[in-house]
Amino acid sequence: MATETHGAEEGGLVFHPMDQFIVEPFFGGTDVAWYTVTNATVWSFLAVLATFLLLVLGSSKRSVIPSRMQSVAELAYGFVYKMVEDICGKEGVKYFPYIMTLFMFIVCANFLGLLPASFTPTAHFAVTVVLAMAVFLTVTILGFVKNGAAFLGLFWVASAPLALRPVLAVIELISYFVRPVSHSIRLAGNVMAGHAVIKVFAGFAALTVVSPFAILGITAMYGLEVLVSFIQAYVFTILTCVYLKDALHPSH
């Protein structure tokens, strides 16, 4: 993506591993205003489209014996539903649509980002920080609304010896506020790292001698990336569930 910004390259090794993440207007032009349709916009909405195709068109027949698309849709539904129910309990089921939204967006964006010449919205901190902050703020506000001041019991580890509790409270508080940071950077970092490594391997392919190894490396990394795309979506979702559980049942 976006190699044209470099103009004509001379021979030799050329690495631009981060260029695939450049945000630029999709319909020409150079400046990006807040409303400009960029490649990030397009691929985000392709993820929306993919979600729509999978979950709405896939289940449009409502057959008791599912078709292939419908069983994939049901698999996704059951996967996230079970996760929410197992971790958050019955009260968490109310928030299932929100969590499903996060999961479907991340998983579709990740997999669409694996297409050659595509753009990966989830490799951008702008995207993952918004997702993680949304989770963080929702969980914090929900925790206080549901439990009142008792939500602060999350930081006061009642099972620890009394002398240790203030220390633990500080640690818990810090770890609580680091949550959105790690939550967002984990997703963006994993996706970005995989894509950048593929680009670096692709850069090595310019040397004829090592190009077979480069292609082998790209293939292997691509396989790993397919795995990572799913696992990171899964991890993001499951951590959301875990944080939500803390808000619903703050006692340790």
Partner 1 sequence: MATNTQSDGLADAVGVDMAEHASTPGMPQLDFSHWGNQIFWLVLALIAIYLILSRVALPRIGAVLAERSGTITNDLAAAEDLKAKAVEAEAAYNKALVDARAEAQNIVERAKAEIKADLDVAIAKADAEISAKAVESEKAIAEIRTSAMENVKIVAKDTAKEIVAALGGKADAKTINAAIDARLKG
Partner 2 sequence: MEGELAHIGAGLAAIGSGAAAIGVGNVAGNFLAGALRNPSAAASQTATLFIGIAFAEALGIFAFLVALLLMFAV
Please report, as ranges, the residues that interact with partner 1 according to CB under 8 A: 5-7, 9-10, 12-16, 18-19, 21-23, 32-38, 40-41, 44-45, 47-48, 51-52, 55-56, 59, 62-64, 66, 70, 73-74, 77-78, 96-98, 100-102, 104-105, 121, 123-127, 130-131, 188, 192
Contacts of residue 147, Cβ cutoff 8 Å, sequence gap at least 6: 153, 247, 250
**Which residue, 64 or 158, is less far from partner 1 as judged by CB?**
64
Binding mask 15-54 for partner 2 (x = CB under 8 A): ---x------------------------------------
Report the alpha-carbon distance of residue 242 to residue 60 in Å, rounded: 32
* x/- map, 189-228, partner 2, by CB under 8 A: xx-xx-----------------------------------
When the beta carbons of 123 and 221 are compared against partner 1, the nearer one is 123
CB of 238 vs partner 1, minimal distance in Å: 18
Closest C-alpha to 250, from 136, 137, 175, 147: 147
**Nearest-5° Cα angle at 251, 180 to 77:** 60
Burial of 158 (0-12, 13-18, 19+ CB in 10 A): exposed
CA angle 187-205-6, nearest 5°? 70
Q: Which two tokens stand for residue 135?
A: 């989770």
Is residue 38 classed as helix, strand or coil in its secondary structure? strand
Among 157, 160, 168, 185, binds partner 2 (CB under 8 A): 185
Q: Considering CB distances under 5 to 8 angstroms, the limit depending on partner class, which of partner 1, partner 2, none binds residue 200? A: none
Is 72 a binding residue for partner 2 by CB under 8 A? The answer is no
Both tokens assigned to 228? 């990572």
Work out what residue 185 binds among partner 2, partner 1, none; the CB cut-off runs from 5 to 8 Å by kind.
Answer: partner 2
Helix ranges, 89-164 (H): 96-113, 125-147
